[in-house]
Amino acid sequence: MRETMIKLALTACAYLSILTTFGIVLVLLFETIGFFRKESIVEFLTSTRWSPTTGSFGILPLVYGTLTATIIAVIVALPLGLLAAIYLSEYASRGLRRWLKPALEILAGIPTVVYGYFALTFITPFLRSHLFPDIGSFNALSAGLIMGVMIIPTVASVSEDAIFAVPQSLREGAYALGATKRETATKIVVPAALSGIVAAVILGISRAIGETMIVTIAMGAQPIWGGSPLEGMQAMTAYIVQVVGGETPRGSVQYQSIFAVGSALFVMTLTLNLISYWFVRRFREVY
């Protein structure tokens, strides 16, 4: 009797979370359709002009802002995260690993608003006085750099799991051929963990694309197509924040446009997750 009650409660919780997700997607879809009743979907996907107040809804400038920051973030996070993962799994002593791994995961818990202010008040001035004198106060570079730092823990931690899971017997096989530790780590262990590493990077990219506070605070609110990373841009998420926080009347086209942008974001991260899922399945090694 008690058993069945508990089971029932758990099942209800599981279905509730699925239903909630489903509901959110439905609302998103519904509002998006409403938006496309008024605006052309072709223009939305192909125009390079985003100016809601004048009725121009070409999403490419927002996508450009998001991708610029994301690419910079990946350039930072991929090498650092991977090296950190290799170090933790292959070189750090057991005791050190026991401390460092959770410390790394705590880093992932720093509120992104803190990162955002750090980019705005520290990174940008630093870049201006040392490297790029004419960098804008809002710019994609510092937002991207700090976003890279933000996703390092994700990339490192998930890759580390994959690298650590490579069976010891594979390392021994390499050692027995006269391989050094470095050769074993870089040429045997990392390739064997490749699917997990790719999944880690894609997870990091998803986080970067969906990241809101950093780009809102440090990258600015100018939807510009094809600008330099030293200039301000607007990311998709930052636009949504701008509208939600502003005085745009509900039900107006501008207001509905955030759902279309939200749908586009959703499609992007969903695609990435599917790629990662496919990759893990396709390249998972069976030991």
Partner 1 sequence: MGDVQPSPGDPEENRDPVDSEKKTREGNPTMRPVPETQNQDSKSAREDLGGMGMSVSDLNAYYGSFKAVTDVSMEIQANKVTALIGPSGCGKSTYIRCLNRMHEVISGAYAQGRVTLGEQDIYAKDADPVIIRRRVGMVFQKPNPFSKSIYDNVAWGAKINGFRGNMDELVERSLRQAALWDEVKDRLKESGFGLSGGQQQRLCIARTLAVEPEVILMDEPASALDPVSTQKIEDTMDDLKKSYTVVIVTHNMQQAARISDYTGFFYIENQGDPGQLWEFDETEKMFSNPERKETEDYVTGRFG
The residue from 8, 26, 29, 177 that contacts partner 1 (CB under 8 A) is: 177
The residue from 114, 194, 221, 272 that contacts partner 1 (CB under 8 A) is: 194
The residue from 23, 102, 125, 191 that contacts partner 1 (CB under 8 A) is: 191
Question: Binding-site residue total for partner 1 (CB under 8 A)?
Answer: 22
Nearer to partner 1, 178 or 249 (CB): 178
| 179 is a site residue for partner 1 (CB under 8 A) | yes
| 170 is a site residue for partner 1 (CB under 8 A) | yes
Nearer to partner 1, 49 or 98 (CB): 98
Q: To the nearest whole angstrom, how small is the minimum distance from the Cβ of residue 177 to partner 1?
A: 3
Q: To the nearest whole angstrom, how small is the minimum distance from the Cβ of residue 173 to partner 1?
A: 4
Q: How far apart are CA 116 and CA 213, in angstroms?
A: 6
The residue from 74, 156, 192, 214 that contacts partner 1 (CB under 8 A) is: 192
Q: To the nearest whole angstrom, how small is the minimum distance from the Cβ of residue 37 to partner 1?
A: 51
| 175 is a site residue for partner 1 (CB under 8 A) | yes
| 54 is a site residue for partner 1 (CB under 8 A) | no
The residue from 30, 126, 131, 285 that contacts partner 1 (CB under 8 A) is: 285
Segment interacting with partner 1 (CB under 8 A) among 70-78, 99-107, 138-146, 190-198: 190-198
The residue from 7, 49, 98, 187 that contacts partner 1 (CB under 8 A) is: 187
Residues 74-113 that bind partner 1 (CB under 8 A): 94
| 174 is a site residue for partner 1 (CB under 8 A) | yes
Instruction: For residue 71, report the phi and psi dihedrals to the nearest 5 degrees.
Output: -65, -45
Three-state SS for the chain is CHHHHHHHHHHHHHHHHHHHHHHHHHHHHHHHHHHHHHCCHHHHHHCCCEEHHHCEECCHHHHHHHHHHHHHHHHHHHHHHHHHHHHHHHHCCHHHHHHHHHHHHHHCCCCHHHHHHHHHHHHHHHHHHHCCCCCCCCCHHHHHHHHHHHHHHHHHHHHHHHHHCCCHHHHHHHHCCCCCHHHHHHHHHHHHCHHHHHHHHHHHHHHHHHCCHHHHHHCCCCCCCCCCCCCCCCCHHHHHHHHHHCCCCCCCHHHHHHHHHHHHHHHHHHHHHHHHHHHHHHHCCCC
CA atoms within 13 A on the CB side of 64: 23
Sites of contact with partner 1 (CB under 8 A): 94, 167, 169-180, 183, 187-188, 191-192, 194, 285-286
